[in-house]
Chains A and B, each alone.
Chain A
Amino acid sequence: MNNKASRYLAGPYVVWIVGFIVIPLLTILYYGFTSDTNAFTLSNLMEIRRWENYRPLYRALLLSAGSTIVCFLIAFPLAMILRENKFSRGSFIVFIFILPMWMNSLLRILAWQTLLERKGVINGILTTLHLPEQHLINTTAAVMIGMVYDFLPFMILPLYNALMKIDDNTINAAYDLGASFWQTLTKIILPLSVPGIVSGVTMVFVPALTTFAISNMLGGGKIYLIGNVIEQEFMQDSDWHQGSGLSLVLMIFVIVSMLIVNHFDDHKDSERGGIM
């Protein structure tokens, strides 16, 4: 059907994306760059310079970077083991590690809340063992556990896909030529798995950076991230201009971080994101 006429098939779709992607983005741009009186202003974006706005952004950056690293440190050895055992994509073992991705993420966070709470499952077990109760929930650590737990499968899958693509012969050749395990890992395996790392990092970092639900459910309103600030601007304070301004700033951070990450990936793998 390689024909000029058939390109009109995309017509309804183009209408759709203009209506529901382009126009909404223009709307948020409009609000972000105007004041209450509809005059052009940069002050909504500059709001980020205020302490109460950049502090949550900084905290979110730290937490999301931290949980991305933890996810990587957990997922990489796992993917290596899966590879060494030659578990194929269809095998039940691999399925088990990816399955939680399909389960409602809020319910999974709820599960952690149940575990960590003051009178939660973990403290229940500690009490039964006559150990003192621990203060677990509403801490930065709790929020980070939630992030790692929620997004780990999104790191495992692309890493696994990337590692499985590496030819055994490449690795064996390295060993034959006298490379140590460490050298093989750093010189061969890691560089070859860069596309997987890149998609894994994007799929963990971006949602962790922008979340407000995890910090709310496991932080007890005490751990305030940029997502919470923006959510409050819209849902409670009804300050759309400031909220849009901060959203645009967040968008810039997302784009910049993705550009940085993508910079490492010169393969331009078509399976980016490879969810299934």
Chain B
Amino acid sequence: MKDILIKNRRRFAAGAAGLLVIVGISAVAAGCGTTEKDIEEIPTPVANTLYVYNAGEYIDPELIDQFEEETGINVVYDVFETLEEMYPVIEAGGVIYDCVCPSDYMIEKMIENNLLQEYDPEKIPNLQYIGEDYMKMASQFDPGNKYAVPYTWGTVGILYNTRMLDELGVPYPTKWSDLWNPALKNEILMQDSVRDAFMVALKKNGYSCNTENPGELDKAMQDLIDQKPIVQAYVIDQVRDKMIGEEAAVGVIYSGEILYVQDELDGSGIDVEYCIPEEGTNLWIDAWVIPKNARNKEYAEKWIDFLCRPDVAAQNFEYITYSTPNVGAMELLDEEYLENEAVFPDTSELLKTSEFYHYLGPAGDSLYNNRWKIVKSS
């Protein structure tokens, strides 16, 4: 009698365990089915689909629809917040993308680590519209222009609120060293990223923003520590909203944000201006690249070609307000934009003092990271 009981119970235990596994698996499967994200992770390529990976809010969404309509290719569009978040995704290949849009130094890193494949210029006829100057600049991180097609470009500079500075009696900034003026206590927004913060301090001292000289980096670090008490906050994309809200008088910002800020403030009586500091700055290019493991190189090239078409590039510029390297598009734009020196500065002048970031390798990166930690901890 007892034996039967025990047997029954054992069967019950096994059954329950089995049931549980089934419940668990089906629940997980059900869960996965609910997000588009995980559907993509099915390793077999979905026919007729292009997988694009771009930074957030970095395209006019109408253009994605337009591309789908024109080509009949279905676009799966994912976004990343930072390049540091994007890199391991491409490297590990957990999700496979056909086309990605990183910045200069990251492209350099991806080329160095053999993660990209060359594009076929024949397949991208609209490449002719990308200005020669910009292709030349891009060759700094992509020698021979084999991997990257420039999408946007710009500078890093100081955005300032003229009324607030007048009230404080502080002259308008023209140099990075103006950000060390004690009269600006709690009025400064700095970038919360290692390279950008160090670029400001390095350039202030006349050093290269790619330096690996410990002495120069130490000096820059000390300057950042000295500056910290007068900095209101270290932020990334918030600079834009904080400047619009008049929460700070000056902020270090990417040139692509200026038009947005000025548009938002149009008619409010608040005047913000942008300056590229005399000491020179960081010049950057974001460009489309095709990962080595892309499933649909052909679609990726169609996508890039589409974005290089002058009317598309012009429409996209008006939406994202980041300067376009597309000469064809520039002809379609308002004169007013082209005359705006903040948005379209004279590159030949700029290149005398300004630089692109270069990928420094793990050893170089840690020179910066360790010092940045000291700045943040102090």
Contacts and interface: CB of A to CB of B under 8 A. Distances in A.
Q: Do chains A and B touch in the complex (CB under 8 A)?
A: yes
Interface of A: 1, 3-6, 8-9, 11-12, 51-53, 55-56, 117-119, 135, 137-138, 220-222, 224, 228-229, 232, 235-239
Interface stretch (B232-240, B295-303, B332-340): B232-240
A12 B17 contact: yes
Contacts of B231: 222
A118 B248 contact: yes
B378 interface: yes
Interface in B194-253: 194, 228, 231-235, 245-248
Nearest to B376: A224
B194 A236 contact: yes
Contacts of B29: none
B248 A11 contact: no
B13 A221 contact: no
A168 B298 CA distance: 81
Interface string B1-13: 0000010011001
A119 B246 contact: yes
A4 to B, nearest CB: 8
27 contacts: A5-B13, A8-B13, A8-B14, A8-B17, A9-B17, A12-B21, A51-B377, A52-B370, A52-B373, A52-B374, A52-B376, A52-B377, A52-B378, A53-B377, A55-B377, A56-B377, A118-B247, A119-B245, A137-B233, A221-B234, A222-B228, A222-B231, A222-B233, A222-B234, A224-B376, A236-B82, A236-B369
What is the interface residue range for chain B against chain A? 35 or more
Given A138-B232, A237-B365, A221 B192 contact: yes
Contact of A238 (B88, B234, B246): B88
The interface residues of chain B, by DSSP majority, are classed as helix
Contact of A229 (B13, B194, B232, B377): B377
A135 B231 CA distance: 12
B232 to A, nearest CB: 6
Contacts of B365: 237
Interface of B: 6, 9-10, 13-14, 16-17, 20-21, 82, 84-85, 88, 186, 192-194, 228, 231-235, 245-248, 365-366, 369-370, 373-374, 376-378
Given A119-B247, A221-B235, A3 B377 contact: no
B167 to A, nearest CB: 12
Nearest to A59: B377
A51 B376 CA distance: 11
B351 to A, nearest CB: 29
Given A12-B21, A222-B231, A229-B377, A239 B366 contact: yes
- In order of increasing CB-CB distance, the 4 nearest A-B pairs are A220-B233, A221-B234, A52-B377, A52-B374
Contacts of A5: 6, 9-10, 13
Contacts of B84: 235-236, 238
Contacts of A239: 366, 369
B265 to A, nearest CB: 14
Contacts of A235: 84-85
Contacts of A117: 247
Nearest to A226: B377
A150 to B, nearest CB: 20
Nearest to A4: B6
Contact of A3 (B6, B82, B85, B245): B6
Contacts of B366: 237, 239
Contacts of B88: 238
A220 B377 contact: no
A140 to B, nearest CB: 13
A229 B369 CA distance: 11
Given A12-B17, A221-B235, 18 more contacts: A5-B9, A6-B13, A8-B13, A11-B13, A12-B21, A52-B373, A52-B376, A52-B378, A53-B377, A118-B248, A119-B246, A135-B186, A137-B233, A221-B234, A229-B373, A236-B194, A237-B365, A237-B369
Nearest to B368: A237
A1 B376 CA distance: 58
A121 B229 CA distance: 24
A138 B82 CA distance: 23
A228 B376 CA distance: 10
Contacts of B20: 12
Contacts of A119: 245-247
Nearest to A220: B233
A9 B6 CA distance: 13
Nearest to B189: A220
B194 A221 contact: no
Which of A3, A229, A235 has the largest number of chain B CB atoms within 10 A?
A: A3
A221 B233 contact: yes
Contacts of B377: 51-53, 55-56, 224, 229
Given A5-B6, A5-B13, A237-B365, A221 B186 contact: no
A230 to B, nearest CB: 11
A118 B189 CA distance: 13
Contacts of A236: 82, 84, 193-194, 369
A67 to B, nearest CB: 20
Contacts of B17: 8-9, 11-12
Which of B20, B85, B228, B248 has the largest number of chain A CB atoms within 10 A?
A: B20
A232 B36 CA distance: 29
A232 B373 contact: yes
A264 B378 CA distance: 35
A50 to B, nearest CB: 9
A53 B370 CA distance: 10
Nearest to A219: B233
A119 B247 CA distance: 6
